[in-house]
Amino acid sequence: MQSAKSPVWPVASRAFLGLCILLSSSHLAHSASPLQTHDLNPLTLIYGLPLASPARLPATDSSVFSVSLNASNTINIEDVGTESLYIDGETKELNLIYLFALSQRSSLRLRLPLISHEAGSLDNFIDDFHHAFGFPEGLRPLYQQDQLLFLYQQNNTELLRLDSANNHIGDITVDLAYQLYADNTQSASIWSSLKLPTGQAADLSGSGQADIAVWFAQEYRFRNNWWRYYNIGLLLSGKSEVLTEQQKSDVLFATAGIEWQPLQRLVLNIQLDFHSAFYQSQTEFLGDSIQLSSGGHIKFGNNKRLEIVVVEDIQVGASPDVTFQLGFSQSFN
């Protein structure tokens, strides 16, 4: 007996063909576009850890506006020595970013984050996501879903507790960049940033103090449609109002990635993001972090693009179990 063909497949095949035609109607990129991700650990997010930054700056009289929604979900319970940590919840960050040229070789980037902490509404989806791709689930199956509790104790003394949902403007960041060199194959820039204490330490939307950072960004096109890129830098943070006695004042951070443009309107990235510990702690969640970001963007016209990214904790237990990012950007000339 011959099986009936589902009417869904002709529609899906036409849609796929149309997408391929759409994606193949533009020029190849002239620079790499790092995935603008960072660690959404709620106890790390309060500091001025920079977004991964491009090595090639906007041309004179041009600018880029972007908006991205990041949603992370995690559960981490640790009892190590005198420390007790319970992190169960969901953190969302909406970033409004404006990057514009100041001169032929300098640019300014402004970032306004809106941060919310809430119960884990994505718990079921995350479990299905881990099962589908074979990622480790850690402690997730052992605990009740859809809870919010961020708790840290030392010597049986409670030093941090957040158990009610909230949302607030985070710490505004101002980044200044200078183009060191740029040609058709490679480019490099030096970046510096100032994070302003506009958030609230009480609801973990800020640290209560200013931070500064400096970092180097470089990219190199090693084949016609392949790029490699990296950032490396140092963050110096002010005296935080969150876990003040455990805080470290200097943090190293780095990003390394590869970008591939298989179609003229489609760009794919795989990227590693690292930072050293923000706290003096024996717990994994407050220690060094390594995350793997995979995703990319689709171009619409010559100046719009849609970005989709998934971030996994390669160093399990040191950052959120998974983070999803959806972004849109538009350039102006």
Using one digit for the tens of pLDDT, what is the confidence trace for 254-273? Answer: 999 999 999 989 999 999 99
Distance CA 99, CA 189 (A): 14
Q: What is the mean pLDDT of residues 162-188?
A: 96
Instruction: Identify the band that residue 122 occupies on the pLDDT scale cut at 50, 70 and 90.
Output: low
Q: Residue range 20-49: average pLDDT?
A: 77
Whether pLDDT at 209 is above 90: yes
Higher pLDDT, 14 or 25: 14
Residue in this structure with the two tokens 């514009």, named with its chain if needed: 100
Of 308, 333, 303, the residue nearest 323 (C-alpha): 308
Buried b (16+ CB within 10 A) or exposed e, 272-307: ebbbebbbebebbbbbebbbebebbbbbeeeeebeb
Q: How many CB atoms lie within 10 A of CB 43?
A: 25
Q: Strand, coil or helix: what is 52?
A: coil
Give the 3-state secondary structure of residue 16: helix
CA–CA separation, 43 and 324 (whole Å): 18
Q: Which residues of 76-99 are buried (b: 16+ CB within 10 A; e: fewer)?
A: bbbeeeebbbbbbbbbbbbbebeb
Q: Quick one: pLDDT at residue 317?
A: 86
Is the pLDDT at 8 greater than 50, yes or no? no
Average pLDDT over residues 59-86: 94
Average pLDDT over residues 4-23: 46
234 alpha-carbon distance from chain centroid: 17
% of the chain exceeding 70 in pLDDT: 83
Q: For position 321, what pLDDT does the model report?
A: 85
Assign 15 a pLDDT band (cuts: 50, 70, 90).
Answer: very low
- How does pLDDT run across 237-247, given as a tens digit for each residue? 999 999 999 99
- Among 3.40.50.920, 3.30.465.10, 3.30.450.20, 2.40.160.40, name the CATH number for the domain at 33-72+91-114+168-332: 2.40.160.40
Q: Which residues pair with 313 in a beta bridge?
A: 291
- Residue 14 pLDDT: 52
What pLDDT does 25 receive? Answer: 41
Q: Return the amino acid letter for 316.
A: V
- Top-confidence residue, 18 or 302: 302
SS3 167: strand
Q: Which pLDDT band, with edges at 50, 70 and 90, does 74 fall under?
A: confident
Q: Where are the domains of the chain?
A: 33-72+91-114+168-332
Minimum mean pLDDT range among 4-8, 199-203, 212-216, 255-259: 4-8
Average pLDDT over residues 272-280: 97
The average pLDDT across 178-188 equals 96
* pLDDT confidence tier of residue 168, bands split at 50, 70 and 90: very high
Residue from 79, 21, 90, 64 nearest 281 by CA:
79
- Structure tokens that stand for 114 in this block: 């809106």
Query: What percentage of the chain has pLDDT greater than the value 90?
Result: 75
Give 293's strand partners.
Answer: 271, 311
Contacts of 270 by beta carbon, 8 Å cutoff, 6+ apart: 257, 258, 292, 293, 294
